[in-house]
């Protein structure tokens, strides 16, 4: 029976593991419940990465299929949701690679040195009344400009600033380090703010 009330993280983790164990024992209904628990969130992530509804749907479907086939390989060293999100991100990036016909495409390509410290001021987006009342228009603008980011930066921004994962959780999904995540997030925020400046009349200087 699916709970209607939000559970604490520990309860969610325990419930996921119980469902995973049931799946490994051949319980098809348990896998269906896992799909219901995560399909909306994963589709949202995939669509932000691919910027294409059909590709996002395919990426999530293929991710769940891969999880179903490889469930016995899940060693439970991390959260099931982390493993599932990682597979979805990878499937989404594969879709993006096909869109661009770029065999050299990689989440780690073209990153600058990651020893640069994030700057706290960059988290202060243009806080003016014009931004606050635009609402839906602002989200559309952000979604559009997000597609101009390098995929590696885009993924970090989506996981951290849109989906609300912690730095540590994002690093685990991407099999990276918190330091690298912070550096990429800093660059993503800076680039987005530079692009959004034309809408809000703010001046951004990259040092």
Which residue do the tokens 């996981």 mark? 159
- Is a pLDDT exceeding 80 seen at residue 133? no
pLDDT tens figures, 70-109:
998 888 888 999 999 999 999 999 998 887 764 444 444 4
pLDDT average, residue stretch 46-74: 94
Domains and CATH numbers, the chain: 9-100 (1.10.1740.10), 120-200 (1.10.10.10)
Return the pLDDT at 98: 86
- The span from the first CA to the last CA of the chain, in angstroms, equals 54
Q: Is 202 helix (H, G, I), strand (E, B) or coil?
A: coil
- Is a pLDDT exceeding 90 seen at residue 202? no
Contacts of 181 (CB under 8 A, 6+ apart): 156, 160, 167, 170, 171, 174
pLDDT average, residue stretch 150-160: 93
The CA distance from 172 to 177, in Å, is 7
Q: For the chain, what is the radius of gyration of the CA atoms?
A: 18
The CA distance from 23 to 47, in Å, is 27
Give me 189's structure tokens: 């925020």
The CA distance from 198 to 142, in Å, is 12
CA-wise closest residue to 64 among 47, 82, 94, 42: 42
- Is a pLDDT exceeding 70 seen at residue 61? yes
**Chain Cα centroid distance, residue 17:** 22
| Top-confidence residue, 20 or 137 | 20
pLDDT average, residue stretch 112-124: 43
Q: SS in 3 state form for 7-69? A: CCHHHHHHHHHHHHHHHHCCCHHHHHHHHHHHHHHHHHHHHHHHCCHHHHHHHHHHHHHHHHH
Cα dihedral 12, 13, 16, 17 in deg (nearest 10): -150
């Amino acid at each position: 029976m699916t709970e209607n009330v939000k559970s604490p993280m520990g309860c969610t983790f325990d419930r996921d593991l119980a469902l995973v164990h049931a799946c490994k024992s051949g319980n098809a209904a348990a896998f269906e419940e896992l799909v219901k628990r995560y399909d909306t969130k994963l589709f949202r992530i995939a669509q932000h990465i691919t910027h294409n509804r059909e590709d996002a749907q395919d990426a999530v479907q293929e991710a769940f299929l891969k999880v179903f086939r490889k469930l016995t390989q899940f060693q439970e060293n991390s959260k099931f949701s982390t493993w599932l999100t990682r597979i979805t991100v990878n499937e989404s990036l594969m879709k993006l690679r096909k869109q661009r016909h770029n065999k050299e495409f990689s989440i780690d390509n073209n990153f600058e040195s990651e020893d640069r410290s994030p700057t706290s001021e960059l988290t202060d987006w243009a806080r003016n009344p014009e931004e606050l009342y635009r609402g839906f228009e602002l989200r559309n603008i952000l979604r559009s400009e997000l597609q101009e980011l390098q995929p590696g930066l885009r993924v970090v921004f989506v996981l951290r600033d849109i989906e609300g994962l912690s730095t540590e959780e994002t690093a685990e999904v991407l099999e990276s380090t918190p330091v690298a995540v912070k550096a990429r997030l800093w660059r993503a925020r800076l680039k987005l703010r530079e692009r959004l400046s034309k809408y809000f009349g703010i001046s951004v200087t990259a040092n």
